[in-house]
């Protein structure tokens, strides 16, 4: 998958005082795509996020109806690729997506994102992370 890992989305502290380059903007998005209209809205939202300038991070927790899963995953993958293109000198947006099986509430999506962030922090500190630490569906858009 071309999706960034949590380690890439959350760069380690690099400054002399241990400060992190960080992100100026953190956007949490939770979405269940249940129909074509929701897919169109997600695509529009992703396009808006990709167009942002400056350093930002989007954490997207998502689920979809089975019939729409491939289309949602493709939209996310395309947006992640566009984020990398926009990046560079301008500092674009990093998009980390975590898929969950079946319909989930926004808070279940946020919990999965939190688990991914916590697992990345443990890996960065050299902690033992097992597969159970990863949210269902893993990271990435497909």
- H or E segment at 18? none
Q: Can you give the pTM of this predicted structure?
A: 0.67
Q: How confident is the model at residue 77 (pLDDT cuts 50, 70, 90)?
A: very high
Q: How confident is the model at residue 139 (pLDDT cuts 50, 70, 90)?
A: very low
Q: What is the pLDDT of residue 3?
A: 52
73 HSE (CA, 13 A, CB side): 17
pLDDT digits (tens, 9 = 90+) for 86-130: 765 456 678 888 898 888 888 998 898 888 888 877 877 776 544
Q: What is the pLDDT of residue 63?
A: 93
pLDDT digits (tens, 9 = 90+) for 21-64: 554 667 888 999 999 999 999 999 999 888 876 667 888 899 99
Q: How confident is the model at residue 80 (pLDDT cuts 50, 70, 90)?
A: confident
């Amino acid at each position: 998958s071309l999706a960034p890992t949590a380690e890439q989305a959350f760069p380690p502290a690099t400054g002399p005082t241990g400060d992190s380059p960080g992100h100026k903007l953190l956007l949490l998005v939770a979405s269940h795509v249940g129909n074509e209209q929701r897919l169109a809205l997600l695509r529009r939202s992703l396009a808006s996020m990709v167009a942002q300038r400056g350093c930002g991070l989007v954490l997207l927790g998502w689920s979809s109806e089975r019939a729409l899963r491939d289309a949602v995953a493709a939209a996310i993958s395309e947006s992640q690729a566009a984020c990398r293109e926009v990046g560079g000198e301008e500092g674009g947006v990093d998009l980390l997506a975590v898929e969950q099986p079946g319909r989930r509430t926004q808070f279940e999506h946020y919990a999965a994102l939190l688990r991914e962030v916590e697992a990345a922090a443990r890996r960065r500190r050299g902690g033992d992370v097992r597969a159970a630490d990863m949210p269902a569906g893993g990271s990435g858009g497909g």
